[in-house]
Every structure is written in structure tokens, then in C-alpha cells.
Amino acid sequence: MKLVQKYFTSWLEHKKPHDTVGDIGEAKSCPIALYILDKNPKHVVKVWNVSYLVKERGGEYVHKDMPDWAETFVNSVDNLNGGVITALECLNILKEIDPG
């Protein structure tokens, strides 16, 4: 699955602002990992700041490079204090990355 910022943003915009959309600093449950899992529930996902791994159940992990916007987003999220992050917080980070 290719990460596209407009699709990730749309996914966040369809959530309620204060919905939890991920865990800060967690490779398997950060917002991008949960987005990928929402779109591909049969996959296992691990996200790091420069790359991510996707594995279809029972298959091999496939390494994918993180697009620049996603790398910046993950680093911004991981620099927050631990805990959970909301859809609104993610959207605000994306606006800082690309004010459009």
C-alpha cells in the first residue's frame, strides 16, 4: 500500500475530532499503522520514522520507504509526550507540515 497524504488526511477528517487514532511512539498502533490496518485489515504493519513494513497474514514482510510527508509526520508525533493522539491533533500536525 502506498501512503498518500490526501487519503490519510481524508481518513482523519472522517473521524470525530477527539477520536483516538493511535498511540504515540508505537510501531504497531501509531496513526499511520492504524490507517493502513483500517484499509487492509488482513495485514500486519510496523511503522518507523523512515520506513514501514507490511505483511499479509502468513506472508513475508515487505519493506516500504516512508514518503517525506509521512516521515515528518511520524517524527512529529513521536516527539510528543507518550499516550494517545486524536484525529484533530494529527490534522494540526499535517497542517504544520503542509499549510497548503
Q: Check if the beta carbon of residue 74 is closer than 8 Å to that of residue 49.
A: yes
Please tell me the pTM assigned to this model. 0.91
Predicted confidence band of residue 39 (pLDDT cuts 50, 70, 90): very high
Establish if 100 belongs to a structural domain: no
Establish if 90 belongs to a structural domain: yes
- Indicate the length of the chain as a whole number: 100
Number of domains in the chain: 1
- Cα distance between residue 64 and residue 3, in whole Å: 10
The CB density around residue 33, as the number of other CB atoms within 10 Å, is: 23
- Cα distance between residue 38 and residue 32, in whole Å: 10
- Cα distance between residue 54 and residue 12, in whole Å: 21
Establish if 73 belongs to a structural domain: yes
Containing domain of residue 56, as a range?
5-95
Establish if 9 belongs to a structural domain: yes
Give me the amino acid identity at 63.
H
pLDDT at residue 100, as a whole number: 65
Establish if 43 belongs to a structural domain: yes
